[in-house]
Chains A and B, each alone.
Chain A
């Protein structure tokens, strides 16, 4: 344990910003607006937030998978495998930004060079060191190829196994590891012949077959039936224990996050609002960010609904990521705002203040006195 404490984080994201240009509104949508995250070896970081909070885009940006132009990405993403490597290195050279009062007003981007540089940076990392699985597994698998072949491809690309027959054996092995039924038969199935749960298992197998250092799971259970969701969560839990994987789990489902995460980061409006050990963050009755508290209490639970007779919800609307108001992003919906902190909340965005050894909260209520 202490050995791991001294190791640098496997992935460190520093001040990541990803802005998209909306032609209709002629303005930048600030999907990711300055995110700092760390993933330590062997741990599972759960990133939770509403739709539009930028959680998926954060990891996609880190992996260079943001291809819809024009995504402008700045910041530093350090992947520390044997040696640290900046995954966003050199991209800035292809972009010229013009800022005014901290806002990006003008972007001139050479997209082709940018993409080339991104591909160069991530060569070998994508798939081999960091694997990613997505929502909607049946669409995410190649519909024209059998599932087995796709897993075998991952094996051949990223492990020492190059022969067709050996790769096939390995693919079968992984299909068994993800506890898919009748692996031999499933190997020769096309994705359309698999159910949602089975194809997600297949995608997990494909991601793990490359024996990566880290797995990023982007909403892996969203879109699946509730019972299947539980099974996939079980599977991930099991794999976590058996393989000692480092994982980043992105979900808007608190239940999934709570089950699998060691540490949690809560995102809202493109920024991280709170980070800390899972148990602490998820404890409704302990200290924490107002947004997180609201999220937790708005999760429908039978006893609460029966008691109060209505479904609790967070007041207000989701943040407009084009016109970000000054001050705290959550101020319009915050239930815990009081007169002491109000002047700060209105005018200046809080930093991530420390609360304890491993806890950070972006709220003026927790500012050091």
Chain B
């Protein structure tokens, strides 16, 4: 409940250099660190899973070793109701969302930036069109749209991620657009044009890279978090990867009955994995956002 403020030095130099990281709040620094740890873990696991460098065979069922709790002998995170190693399956589960999610996020960033720049730069009808398209996409709840797409095209991870990328593009488009408008207002763009810079240079180097990269990075973290939630929700519903291929979502679903009987772990392990991962991406984005805001409002 108490605020504590300390004057760090006796005199403070007027022109002391300003480090965004050092002046950031402790909670923000922790958020970013935690988020980076999560990203690393996910990356490493993705690689492990891709090369199948796994502690156990994901499909191997040991009748003897069913429902073992975590820290059991040989099974770091225990086994599920069919004797399969949970850690292995968790690592493999990352395959289901990582690459598709990454691609989808890239798509949404690309498409979103393009639309945003178009709307901001050109204004007028381009802006109206992008706004209309944006509102249209936002009117469709993502999950409902997914079911529609699945009904039409059968569950297909790449179509799903394509649609996901398209549905997340409008938010980015609007953010980029307002950034562009702000730059316009500050005569930034006018002066760049007056300096003789080509539109491509202005757009890619100055607008997007210099001014939008923080924003886009943070949206990327949010996007990855959403991708994880989407993939796990869909595979929970049965529309993602099918058994026996593990996905965190279908692991929870498969363990549901056992949960009802009091055997929590087969469902809870993947749920915790989901939580930690989503939290990691969110905190990374939040922490970075706060640190960058500080820098700007200084």
| Chain A residues close to B by CB (< 8 Å) | 21, 23-28, 69-70, 103-112, 320, 322-323
Contact = CB atoms under 8 A, between A and B. Distances in A.
Contact of B4 (A23, A107, A322): A107
Given A21-B5, A107-B6, 13 more contacts: A23-B23, A24-B298, A26-B7, A26-B8, A26-B12, A27-B7, A27-B8, A103-B7, A104-B7, A106-B6, A107-B4, A108-B5, A320-B14
29 contacts: A21-B5, A23-B23, A24-B18, A25-B12, A25-B16, A26-B7, A27-B8, A28-B5, A70-B5, A103-B10, A104-B7, A106-B4, A106-B6, A107-B3, A107-B4, A107-B5, A107-B6, A108-B3, A108-B4, A109-B3, A109-B4, A109-B5, A110-B3, A111-B2, A111-B3, A112-B1, A320-B14, A323-B11, A323-B12
A111 B10 CA distance: 25
A241 B142 CA distance: 69
Contacts of A28: 5, 7
A24 B23 contact: yes
Contacts of B16: 25
A120 to B, nearest CB: 18
Contacts of B14: 320, 323
B9 A108 contact: no
A107 B9 CA distance: 14
Interface of B: 1-12, 14, 16, 18, 23, 298
A27 B9 contact: yes
Contact of A106 (B7, B12, B18, B298): B7
A110 B1 contact: yes
A240 to B, nearest CB: 41
A259 B237 CA distance: 78
The main secondary structure of chain B at its interface with chain A is loop
A323 B14 CA distance: 9
Contacts of A110: 1-3
Q: Which 7 A-B pairs have the closest CB atoms?
A: A21-B5, A26-B8, A27-B12, A108-B4, A109-B3, A107-B5, A323-B11
Contacts of A104: 7
B2 A109 contact: yes
A109 B5 CA distance: 8
Contacts of A26: 6-9, 12, 23
A109 B10 CA distance: 21
The interface centre, meaning the residue of B7, B10, B11, B18 with most chain A CB atoms within 10 A of its CB, is B7
A112 B2 CA distance: 9
Contacts of A109: 2-5
Contacts of A105: 6-7
Contacts of B2: 108-111
Nearest to A113: B1
B7 A69 contact: no
Nearest to B12: A27
A103 B11 CA distance: 11
A105 B10 CA distance: 8
Nearest to B14: A320
Contacts of A323: 11-12, 14
A25 B7 CA distance: 9
A323 B12 CA distance: 7
B212 to A, nearest CB: 25
Contacts of A27: 7-9, 12
Contact of B3 (A69, A103, A320, A322): A69
B293 to A, nearest CB: 13
A112 B6 CA distance: 19
Contacts of B11: 323
Contacts of B18: 24
- Which interface residue of A23, A26, A104 has the most chain B CB atoms within 10 A? A26
B23 A322 contact: no
A208 B167 CA distance: 56
A87 to B, nearest CB: 22
A132 to B, nearest CB: 26
